[in-house]
Amino acid sequence: MIQPGLRRARAYAVAAGLLLAAGCGSAEPSAAAPAPPSAVATSVPVPTTTTTAPAASDAPAPGTQAAPVTTTSPTRPECAGQPYPRSGFDCDFQHRFAAAEAYVARRPGTVGIVVRDRQTGAVWRNGHAGDLTWTASTIKLAMVVDLLLRDHAGKVSLTAADRTQLDAMLHSSDDDAATALWARYGGADHTAFNQAFPRYGLTSLQPQRGYSKVYPYWGFQKCTADDLDRLINYVLDELPAADRSYILDHLRAVAPNQQWGVWGAGPSARPGNKDGWSEEDGGWVMNSVGFLGPGERYTLSIMNNLRGKGGYDEGKQTDTEVARLIFAGRF
């Protein structure tokens, strides 16, 4: 594995050339290229749903498989004693959340998770949902949102080449496309994107100092799983219909290098996601944010900071298994 300093030095040389060509004097490196994807193991079974409700004392102990439950409203008596009675989610989901928490407790690093039901307004978040974590390429989704809205407002005029780069960021998470657009539309002081990002839900976003004079830069930012939850819901609820459809269509048809994370909910959920992965100085981060279910009813954001305790394959497996545990079999 390339040491972080060497990785960044090599990436810096590529990014610097791109920004120089766009009229900027220096650049930050792109995110590290991922290791070859490996098969994702699914060792933890999804809690099953039956027509029999458990007694209040049957709530699963940490690290154990959830017992079968009836899918009902959490205000009903049969949900009493369940692990998240005030979450607004039914008993089946509550057991799924417990299974996901037990799973990530055994995985490398820390994992922030937020699940939202857009139909009822219910939200469940785990204890790491507010942890600041490197965004990696998930921030490209916010860049696409900002550029589309600026184009509508007449503040910029996106060219055919720009739109091809937007496609590339969404489809395969293209780093060169993101660097070129950041240079072209980031403004003389590189702050144009960061000034807009809080409007789309990234209210905790913090740019980080990197390895060149370009600051802020898309490749060196931190946010939380709560931020990504707000961002994907902004896409679903606030964007003009044409822009919303454009993004959803692309996120449902991402390249194989992004078919993990939220993708783990399974094809029947019709998921769409924007993933981000990079090897930072403190270790790998593997993030996924997206939507699933009929009418994009549910959103899911996951930020896995492996903290030097695992790599690309471990993070990919963790994110995908979280989505599977929470949603597989619900649709």
Residue 50 included in any domain: no
What average pLDDT does range 86-101 have in this prediction?
A: 92
Question: In terms of domains, do 101 and 130 share one?
Answer: no
Question: In terms of domains, do 287 and 232 share one?
Answer: yes
Q: What are phi and psi of 45, to 5 degrees?
A: -70, 150
Question: In terms of domains, do 288 and 157 share one?
Answer: yes
Question: In terms of domains, do 79 and 119 share one?
Answer: no
Q: What are phi and psi of 291, to 5 degrees?
A: -140, 165
At 55 the pLDDT is: 32
Question: In terms of domains, do 186 and 100 share one?
Answer: no
At 12 the pLDDT is: 43
Higher pLDDT, 197 or 45: 197
What average pLDDT does range 257-263 have in this prediction?
A: 98
- pLDDT of 115 higher than 70: yes
Question: In terms of domains, do 134 and 177 share one?
Answer: yes
Question: In terms of domains, do 214 and 126 share one?
Answer: yes
What average pLDDT does range 130-144 have in this prediction?
A: 98
Range of the domain at 75: 68-105
At 83 the pLDDT is: 76
Q: How many domains does the chain have?
A: 2
Note the pLDDT tens digit of each residue in 46-72: 443 332 233 333 333 333 333 332 333
At 87 the pLDDT is: 77
Higher pLDDT, 53 or 286: 286
pLDDT tier, 215 (very low <50, low <70, confident <90, very high otherwise): very high
Question: In terms of domains, do 198 and 286 share one?
Answer: yes
Question: In terms of domains, do 73 and 162 share one?
Answer: no
Question: In terms of domains, do 100 and 210 share one?
Answer: no
Rounded CA separation 273/247 (Å): 10
- The CATH number given to whatever domain includes residue 252 is 3.40.710.10
Residue 264 included in any domain: yes
Residue 171 included in any domain: yes
Q: For residue 242, is it left (φ>0), alpha (ψ between -120 and 50) or beta? A: alpha
Q: Is the backbone peptide bond immediately before 68 cis, with ω within 30 degrees of 0? A: no
At 262 the pLDDT is: 98
Edge-to-edge strand order for the sheet containing 221-223? Answer: 133-134, 221-223, 206-207
From 105, 124, 157, give the residue that closes a domain.
Answer: 105
Question: In terms of domains, do 85 and 207 share one?
Answer: no
At 78 the pLDDT is: 54
What average pLDDT does range 250-267 have in this prediction?
A: 98
End-to-end CA distance of the chain: 40
From 105, 131, 156, give the residue that closes a domain.
Answer: 105
From 84, 105, 126, give the residue that closes a domain.
Answer: 105
Rounded CA separation 167/121 (Å): 31
Question: In terms of domains, do 228 and 323 share one?
Answer: yes
Residue 259 included in any domain: yes
Residue 22 included in any domain: no
- Tell if the pTM clears 0.75, that is, is over it: yes
Rounded CA separation 90/236 (Å): 23
